[in-house]
Structure 1
C-alpha cells in the first residue's frame, strides 16, 4: 500500500504490463483451478522471490527444472519470513543471498548458489534489503542458464547450522527497556522500516527511527533523560539515545527537535518497559 493506504501494483506487474505479458494474481496457490492454470502454462522453471509462503507440493512438481527461490540469508542460517531483520537483530556482520531449489519444507531445499556481503555499521533493514535485492537479481540472472544447462548442481544444507527467522508482528516492535541498550539499538535498526520500534509515552506511541547505545547509565530502566541534547531512555544496562523519532500523527524529526518541543520528557518515566506477554 502506498499513500492513503491504497493498494499499489508491484514492480514486476508494472514491467509485465509494459511488455504485454499475461498476468495472474491468484489469492491462493492451493486452489485446483490455479494449479491447473499453471500446468497449462507448462513452465520450465518457476522462480519465487519474497513470496513468504510454502508452495504446495502440486506446484513444486510442475516445472521439470523445479521451483527456484531467492532467499535473503546465508542458508541454513535464518530460514523463514524475516531473514534480514533477524540477521541485524542478532548482530551478524555478514549476510547474503541463497538461491535454492524449493522443497515442501520452509527454506530447506538444496543450494544452487550463495554469495555474501558485509552488513554495514548502522545499516537498517530497509537499506540492507535494497542491496540484497540487487545482489539477488544479479545472481538469479547468472544461475538460471547454469541450471538449465545442468552445469550448476544444488548442495544440501547443513541442518546443524539451522536458525529460524519468525514472522514479525507490529507488536514485536515495542521496546523493552529491561534489556541491554546495545540490543535495543540493534532492534531499532532491524525493525526499520517495519515493523518499526516504539515506546509509549503519555499514552502516545513514539516510533524510534534511529538510535544508538551508550554504556554510561545509573538510572532504573525506563527513566527518561537528556544526553548531549538528545532524548534518551535508560535500559538494563546502558542508555538508548534517540537520534530520530516520529511521534504518533507527526512527521519524522530529529531527537533534539523533539526534545525542544517536549520539555516534560526529561526526568519522566516509561511505565510500560516490558512487552506485553513477556
Structure 2
C-alpha cells in the first residue's frame, strides 16, 4: 500500500478522507489548527481532524505548512503521494515535489473555472447550470496544476450551497478513488489548464453576503441559495441584520419598491425585487433563532410595506 498523507480541513473533506482510508489506508492527516467556536469560544478541532482521531489516524496541525519544522515532519513521513481536499493553505514547492506520485488535489469545480476557496458558493451565485469535480496535480499557482480527471454535475434549481456541497463531496470521493489506480500505474492523463480561460472564486466576505433587491429576482434568489446555509445572505430590518436562508421564484411582476415587503403568503411573505416578487421562506433576525418566514411574519402586519435593506 502507498504511504499517503491526506490534507484537508472542513466537512467537504471528511467523506473523501474516510473512503480513501478504507481503500488504501491513510498514514497521516494534516489539518488546520483548532479554533475557538461559539459564544464560549471553545477550542474545537476541524472536522477532518476530528474524523481522523475517530479513525485512529495520526494528526498534524501546523500553523504554517511552509515552516521548516512542518516541512521536516512531512519529509520524515516519506509520503508516496499527498492528497489534498480543501486544506486551506498553499503548499510550498518543495512539498509538492516530495512524493514520488506527486501531490493531487480534489477541487470542487471544473477547472480552470472557479479557482480559489469558494467554488461552490460562486457557482450558485453566478447562476451556473453545472459544476463538477477536478482531480488535478498541485502546482505553485492557485489551483493551476494539470488536470488528471474531471466529472460534471448539474446544478438543480432547488440546490443551495449545502446540498451542492454534499453532492460534490461524494462525487469528489468517487472520482478520486477511480483516478488513483491510474496515477499509481503511471497511465493517467495529464492535461495543462487553459490559464487564459481561468475564473476565480475567492472566499466569501461580509460585503459578498449583502443582498441587493434592486437586482432581478433570479439574481437575488441565486444569491440567497448560494450563501445558504452558510454563511447566510443578509439585509437589514428595523436596524437589525436580517438573514434570508430560503426563497422561491414566483414569476409574478411587481410594482413595489425593491426590498418592499408586499404581503403575507401561505409559505412566508412576498418581497419586491428589481423585476418580480420573491417568496421568502426562511429567515433569522439578529439575536433570534432561524425560523420559517411564515412564523416570523405572523402577527406582524406592521411589517407590510416596510423596506428591507
**Residue number in structure 2 paired with 1:240:** 278
The 8 Å contact of residues 73 and 97 in structure 1, kept in 2 or not, is answered as yes
Listed as ranges, the matches of 1:106-117 within 5 Å are 106-117=142-153
CA RMSD, 1 decimal = 1.9
Q: Deviations over 1:115-134 (max 9, x none)?
A: 11111222100111011111
How many residues align? The count is: 271
Listed as ranges, the matches of 1:105-254 within 5 Å are 105-214=141-250, 215-226=252-263, 228-229=265-266, 230-254=268-292
2:293 maps to 1:255: yes
The 8 Å contact of residues 65 and 89 in structure 2, kept in 1 or not, is answered as no
**Residue number in structure 1 paired with 2:124:** 88
After TM superposition, the score normalised by the length of structure 1 is 0.91
**Residue number in structure 1 paired with 2:307:** 269
Specify every segment of 5 or more residues in structure 2 that has no aligned partner in the other structure, as ranges.
1-35
Q: Deviations over 1:224-273 (max 9, x none)?
A: 21153532322212222211111222222222211114222101223x4x
The 8 Å contact of residues 169 and 195 in structure 1, kept in 2 or not, is answered as no
**Residue number in structure 2 paired with 1:276:** none
CA distance in 1, matches of 2:289, 2:283: 9
The 8 Å contact of residues 112 and 154 in structure 1, kept in 2 or not, is answered as yes
The 8 Å contact of residues 124 and 192 in structure 1, kept in 2 or not, is answered as yes
CA distance in 1, matches of 2:200, 2:232: 20
Q: 2:112 aligns with which of 76, 88, 100?
A: 76
Q: Deviations over 1:196-230 (max 9, x none)?
A: 11111111111101012344111222222115353
Q: 1:32 aligns with which of 56, 68, 75?
A: 68
CA distance in 2, matches of 1:78, 1:156: 16
CA distance in 1, matches of 2:158, 2:55: 39
After TM superposition, the score normalised by the length of structure 2 is 0.82
The 8 Å contact of residues 170 and 195 in structure 1, kept in 2 or not, is answered as no
CA distance in 2, matches of 1:265, 1:247: 13
The 8 Å contact of residues 71 and 95 in structure 2, kept in 1 or not, is answered as yes
